[in-house]
Structure 1
Amino acid sequence: MDASGLKIINAKIITPTRIIKNGCLLARDGKIVAVAEGNIDSESETVIDAGGKFLSPGFIDIHVHGGGGYDFMDNTVDAYLEIARLHASHGTTAFTPTTLSCEREALFKTLSLYEESAPLNLDGAQFLGMHIEGPYFAMEQRGAQDPRFIRLPDPEEYKEVLRQSSIVKRWSAAPEVKGAVEFGRYIKSKGVLPSIAHTDAIYEEVLEAYENGYTHITHFYSCMSGVSRRNAFRYAGVIESGYLLEDMTVEIIADGRHLPPALLKLVYKIKGSDKIALVTDAMRAAGMPPGESVLGDMRNGLKVIVEDNVAKLPDRSAFAGSVATTIQLVKNMITLADVPVGDAVKMMTITPAKIMGADDKKGAIVVGKDADLVIFDHEINLHTTIIGGRVVYTV
């Protein structure tokens, strides 16, 4: 549905400061131009009656690998476009495509396909820049990352990546490995967010990393250190560091599997909605039936099995990825962690937008920002996804 002028009436509008009952929103040329209680006089071409449902900013997913049977590491334009469409049908209006640890040539191919696909992505979630996950990780905390490709930071490699591509916005690494502090400092100077991930770091190493640009933690609790003992002495790990460093932001996979309800509640209680981003970390099986799947490149990726609403290694010894969608994350925070709807939405909208530096245009229902919106009911079931003032999905 094309709407140079769009009017949404009879909505419970979730703004940064309140929920407007019987709210009305007006959008023109892809931007929000008015928000008010009651009616707004206009000559909009398209009117949507929300029927008393919630109207929220569009969901922003800053960590996603795939969905709909595709993975970004497949390195095809179709993969990019189909993943974008699949996640838009579940409430995502913008996201950061994410890589896995891989060979240098495969990474360059993935980045080039991002740039090729972006102009063609007309009816899917918008790209916010690339998130490179790996390959500079602690081997012992690799999780489902392919050990063949894990290596130490190579200045020649990462400088060449950033010379060739301007679309990298975030890069996850283990801060304690040799060369990681210098790596973080360099990419930060180039406008790329260094993020802590797949790590055995202790507090002192996290603190040094934080001082050198690592201000975010990737999939908090997953593949990272907690309290450990070395020669009888206890050391705080990355988990404790995330709590101690008040301004450190974290992301959580709130699929109800990677973190149980008790940990969802704990993270929310300590960090608060301003410091937490909800992420799917979804792999290709998101939106697909249970059964066998592949993490990473379909040709030589890791075989996994999807059951119990999560991807697992074939021997079921560990999780191998999420199959969540953004509307599920919001629902889980409300129903499993007892989070108010406004805060659950904040963690899926303005907080990730701020982390990625996109909050000047996205993440909130405010006049002047992009008309990226979702409508969902009181049971947190998605009804409509709107991107740039255009309806791209509706029930």
Structure 2
Amino acid sequence: MESRRIKIFNGRIITPYRIIRGGTVLIEGNRILAVAEDDIPVRDAIEIDARGQYISPGFIDIHVHGGGDSDFMDGDVASFLAVAETHMQYGTTSMVPTTLSSDTASLLNAVELYEQAHLRNTKGAAFLGIHLEGPYFAMNQRGAQDPRYIRNPDPEEYKAVLASTSSVVRWSAAPELPGSLEFGRYLTSRGILAAVAHTDAIYEEMLEAFECGYTHATHLYSAMSGVTRRNAFRYAGAVESAFLMDEMTVEIIADGIHLPPPLLKLVYKIKGADKTALITDAMRAAGMPEGDSILGAKNNGLRVIVEDNVAKLPDRSSFAGSVATTDQLVRNMVKLADVPLADAVRMMTSTPAAIMKVAGRKGSLTAGRDADVLIFDEDIRIHTVICGGRIMHQARHTKDHVIVS
């Protein structure tokens, strides 16, 4: 039986480097069949008139913990699926579920649940693999990570975890800890992205870490050393190191709160759109009203309060997680950081795809790529989400855009 086709026309197609006006995207099955600068005549297709709005690749979030009052550490498959469905409504078509620092048993359980959820995930953003954030962190850069679980890399532990699964695609750690360089080399040998995070490293340590495979910086600026003094001498920290190393990629929580507009502008100016990915780093309160919430597992996580569009520790001494969604990240880069729309979208699509080594199938509107497509307006309000060639979500006021011919 021939796969049903979807034709999206009369829109402004966003490519990594330009915007095609009046273009058409043709989908067949779960792949993009063609992208053209004008109309593509086709019979027996579902037609979606974009009405001059933007047609974009689906957003890719490579660092997310939760949403819709669920978290990947809750300990059940339903929570994985709920997070994927919540963020899909805001334009996320692919994501990398992320854990928090925990004991070995909890890490192994999270990986096992991920694999079960991956098979059952038909209504939400697609999973690209799991990201283990911690527990190998600098204690005084732990942020809201639970100090009970912070420790140095243990070869017996991490080799056992990775022997149990092929689903881990990235692991974040502080590279200055004893054993971290060996850990980075081991991850790299397994094809897993080693990322610098929650670290007090200085430039000399960062340089050595990069050579051992730590090619990416997790949530740049957040829980990361800047210029510091040791015995009266100044040293460049992890932030400055990420700027100095041209080949190092970075990710930023572009909620406008974790990083204010001047820092968003600075990262874009120095690293550019092709080395900077936007991430939500969202916890369970994403997509939920403000008020009390929990960071991490619902049964033993850290109590937090959500206000001012961010999660905070109860004493308000520190941020405790983002509640952003991917549409907000793109909107903020355009409106707060004055980034051109095509570049802001690239930081949410083709750049994270390249970092996670899935650019051959995701991240751009190109024939042969996965049919992950969005339609949104001037304010980056998501009107239509197509994930894997299926229409997953349509805003109520856009349902009349679909015509079956």
Report TM bin, short chain.
Answer: over 0.9
Q: What are the equivalent positions in structure 2 for 1:183-332 lying under 5 Å apart?
A: 183-332=183-332
Aligned-residue offset at 1:189: 0.2
Aligned-residue offset at 1:379: 1.6
> Who is 1:54 aligned against?
54
The amino acid of 2:41's aligned partner reads D
Report which stretch shifted further, 108-117 or 11-20.
Answer: 11-20
Contact 2:16–2:343 (CA<8 Å) still a contact in 1?
no
Return the TM-score normalized by structure 1.
0.99
Q: Secondary structure of the equivalent of 2:73?
A: helix
> Who is 1:111 aligned against?
111
Q: Write the distance in 2 (CA, Å) between the matches of 1:44 and 1:179.
A: 60
Aligned-residue offset at 1:44: 4.1
Q: Write the distance in 2 (CA, Å) between the matches of 1:119 and 1:317.
A: 40
The amino acid of 1:220's aligned partner reads L
Q: Write the distance in 1 (CA, Å) between the matches of 2:44 and 2:137.
A: 52
Q: Secondary structure of the equivalent of 1:13?
A: strand
Aligned-residue offset at 1:380: 1.4
Is the aligned partner of 1:334 residue 2:334? yes
Contact 1:7–1:44 (CA<8 Å) still a contact in 2?
no
Is the aligned partner of 1:154 residue 2:168? no
Aligned-residue offset at 1:42: 1.1
1:124-161 per-residue CA deviation (whole Å, 9 max, x = no partner) reads 00000000000000000000000000011000000011
Contact 2:17–2:343 (CA<8 Å) still a contact in 1?
no
Q: Write the distance in 1 (CA, Å) between the matches of 2:152 and 2:245.
A: 26
> Who is 1:381 aligned against?
381
> Who is 1:67 aligned against?
67
Contact 1:4–1:30 (CA<8 Å) still a contact in 2?
no
> Who is 2:100 aligned against?
100
Q: Secondary structure of the equivalent of 1:73?
A: coil
What's the C-alpha RMSD, in Å, of the aligned pairs?
0.7
Is the aligned partner of 1:358 residue 2:350? no
Q: What are the equivalent positions in structure 2 for 1:160-179 lying under 5 Å apart?
A: 160-179=160-179
Contact 2:5–2:46 (CA<8 Å) still a contact in 1?
yes
Aligned-residue offset at 1:201: 0.2
Q: Write the distance in 2 (CA, Å) between the matches of 1:214 and 1:17.
A: 28
Q: Write the distance in 2 (CA, Å) between the matches of 1:208 and 1:19.
A: 40
Q: Write the distance in 2 (CA, Å) between the matches of 1:135 and 1:39.
A: 52
Aligned-residue offset at 1:60: 0.1
The amino acid of 1:332's aligned partner reads N
Q: Secondary structure of the equivalent of 1:317?
A: coil
Contact 2:56–2:365 (CA<8 Å) still a contact in 1?
yes
Aligned-residue offset at 1:162: 0.7
Q: Write the distance in 2 (CA, Å) between the matches of 1:210 and 1:302.
A: 33
> Who is 2:129 aligned against?
129
| Identical counterparts, % of pairs | 63
> Who is 2:43 aligned against?
43
> Who is 1:21 aligned against?
21
Report which stretch shifted further, 321-330 or 382-391.
Answer: 382-391
Aligned-residue offset at 1:16: 2.7
Q: Secondary structure of the equivalent of 1:215?
A: strand
The amino acid of 1:225's aligned partner reads S
1:46-93 per-residue CA deviation (whole Å, 9 max, x = no partner) reads 110101000000000000000000000001111011100000000000
Q: Write the distance in 2 (CA, Å) between the matches of 1:342 and 1:304.
A: 35
The amino acid of 2:154's aligned partner reads D
Q: Write the distance in 2 (CA, Å) between the matches of 1:339 and 1:368.
A: 29
Contact 2:373–2:385 (CA<8 Å) still a contact in 1?
yes
* Alignment gaps of 5+ in structure 1: none
Q: Write the distance in 2 (CA, Å) between the matches of 1:347 and 1:384.
A: 20
> Who is 2:8 aligned against?
8
Q: Write the distance in 2 (CA, Å) between the matches of 1:44 and 1:146.
A: 55
Contact 1:97–1:130 (CA<8 Å) still a contact in 2?
yes
Aligned-residue offset at 1:17: 3.2
Aligned-residue offset at 1:94: 0.1
* Alignment gaps of 5+ in structure 2: 396-405
> Who is 2:403 aligned against?
none
Q: Secondary structure of the equivalent of 1:111?
A: helix
Q: Secondary structure of the equivalent of 1:159?
A: helix
The amino acid of 1:388's aligned partner reads G
Q: Write the distance in 1 (CA, Å) between the matches of 2:5 and 2:301.
A: 45
Contact 1:228–1:236 (CA<8 Å) still a contact in 2?
yes
